[in-house]
Structure 1
Amino acid sequence: MRAQNGVEPFAHRCRVYYEDTDAGGVVYYVNYLKFMERARTERLRDLGFAQSQLAQQNTLFVVHSSEARYHAPARLDDELRVTAQVLELNRASLRFVQQVWRESDATLLCEGQFLVACVRADTFKPRAIPPELRAAFVEAGSPGIHSNAGD
């Protein structure tokens, strides 16, 4: 999937393990949320920001709300490509749009949107996204990004 501005969305690759599947041999629905969480974490790491580093700076990201649509099942040993694209960059939150694709046949398996809030690690109260992280998202040219001044 290529964005309108020609920039490919960030993608994290992973494989389906036995522990990810249900008794029928297909990925249990909640595990798609785990795959997407990992892709968001890897996107931050790709920009130079580890979750552990942010926590030391009294900054955490927590999922405020999520929405997912399931299209086709993934199965044991499938290689997956999980995208993480920032759709909105607000003062204290990010809205990600994400997709999970099976690599072997380029089938869209699941897609969703996640509103992720930036909070203080000590109080869990909202806080502004650190300026250097905000700048990294803007500089990376996240496809489709819309920046809003306030939440």
Structure 2
Amino acid sequence: MATSKPIADSSSPLSPFHTQIRVAYHETDGQRRVHHANYLNYFERGRVEMLRAAGILYKAVEDAGRILVVTEMNVRYHAAAEFDDHLDLITEVIEVRKVRIRHRYRILRGDELIVEAESTIACLDSQGRPSRLPPEFLG
């Protein structure tokens, strides 16, 4: 279960965005802790929901002949999230360039930092060549 909302009531895709996540059992390992790879899925959910809240549908971006691909992901694990935990994911844009956008993520359980990460996303055309980000990404 996840709910999402902009942090500062802004519809800009550059505004920090808040997503609440409840850890599902299938996202955990044998010790009922979130498997490290599942945090990447949480980050993607945060990016997609941030865009949706700003009125940008990822499906429409793809239908227009562009794809957004992860070219870099740096993750720092600080603690373990567990089955049924309520987590807060904060997704924010930290840099926008012509064809790239960088995000920062923080996942918290209450006030405790569980994971933090940064990603670089590149915009490609349908042939896999770098393409300018759509104008709506530039806020």
Report the TM-score when normalising by structure 2.
0.86
Deviation of 1:97 after TM superposition, in Å, equals 0.8
Deviation of 1:84 after TM superposition, in Å, equals 1.0
Which residue pairs with 2:114 in the alignment? 109
Deviation of 1:106 after TM superposition, in Å, equals 1.9
Query: Which of 113, 126, 130 is equivalent to 1:126?
Result: 130
Whichever structure has more strand as a proportion of its residues is 2
Structure 2 unaligned blocks of 5 or more: 1-6, 8-14
**Per-residue deviation, residues 34-72 of structure 1 (Å, max 9, x unmatched):** 101100111111111111111111111110011000001
Does the CA-based 8 Å contact 1:36-1:83 persist in structure 2? no
* Residues 1-151 of structure 1 mapped to structure 2, 5 A cutoff: 9-102=16-109, 105-120=110-125, 122-135=126-139
Deviation of 1:10 after TM superposition, in Å, equals 0.9
| Secondary structure of the structure 1 residue equivalent to 2:104 | strand
CA distance in 1 between counterparts of 2:134 and 2:24 reads 35
CA distance in 2 between counterparts of 1:48 and 1:123 reads 26
| Secondary structure of the structure 2 residue equivalent to 1:29 | coil
CA distance in 1 between counterparts of 2:91 and 2:112 reads 17
Runs of 4+ in 1 over 6 A off after TM superposition: none
RMSD in angstroms over aligned alpha carbons?
1.4
**Per-residue deviation, residues 3-51 of structure 1 (Å, max 9, x unmatched):** xxxxx72111111000010001100011111101100111111111111
Tell me the number of residue pairs that the alignment of Structure 1 and Structure 2 aligns: 126
Report the TM-score when normalising by structure 1.
0.80
Deviation of 1:109 after TM superposition, in Å, equals 0.3
Deviation of 1:111 after TM superposition, in Å, equals 0.4
| Secondary structure of the structure 2 residue equivalent to 1:112 | strand
| Secondary structure of the structure 2 residue equivalent to 1:54 | helix
Deviation of 1:133 after TM superposition, in Å, equals 2.5
Structure 1 unaligned blocks of 5 or more: 3-7, 136-151
